[in-house]
Amino acid sequence: MDACIEAHGGLVWSIVLKRVRDRSAAEDLTQEIFTEIWKTSGRYDPSIASESGFIAMIARRRAIDWSRKQQRLPEMESLPEKADFPAPVETPGLAMDRDSLWKALESLPDETRKLFTLHFEQGLTHSEIAESTGLPLGSVKTRLRRGLLEARALLGRLGDRLNLNPESRS
């Protein structure tokens, strides 16, 4: 591979630079191209094209693919270095500490609270929860999702009851 890069690095680099203006992106793309050349080297047929022709074709195709992909990405604007972002709005009574939240969730089924504890308190992934509980992965995901929906409804009702829900104020 070193000999290939030494012999054709300039060719690939020049093809990439025709499409990519950002040097870092050009370096990444060049590396990807040489990785693809390594993986597809078995398809090289000297009766069809020269070695440099084969490499140039791969480089050109990958550079075009990269350009098209960049055109599909949304345009990003940089944030000003020092922006005057509004301060978060504090709504009295809507904040809830961790203990109050878990106390409010006591009406959820024990199994749901156990899954919440494993996921939100202990930071286990869905797969880790499935492994530790013996539940199928799909069941863990479904039960966590249903539990979140139940918790949202419960907290919404709690907020309405305490007249804390901003939507219920008029």
Reported as a single tens digit per residue, the pLDDT across 65-80 is: 998 988 887 777 776 6
Provide the angle, in degrees to the nearest 10, between the axes of the packed helices 51-72 and 2-19.
Answer: 40
Q: What is the mean pLDDT of residues 130-159?
A: 86
Mean pLDDT computed over 49-70: 91
When pLDDT is cut at 50, 70 and 90, the band that residue 16 belongs to is: very high
Fold of 2-72: Rna Polymerase Sigma Factor; Chain: A (1.10.1740)
First to last CA, the chain: 71
pTM above 0.75, yes or no: no
Domain residue ranges in the chain: 2-72, 98-168
What is the per-residue pLDDT for 54?
92
CATH fold for domain 98-168: Arc Repressor Mutant, subunit A (1.10.10)
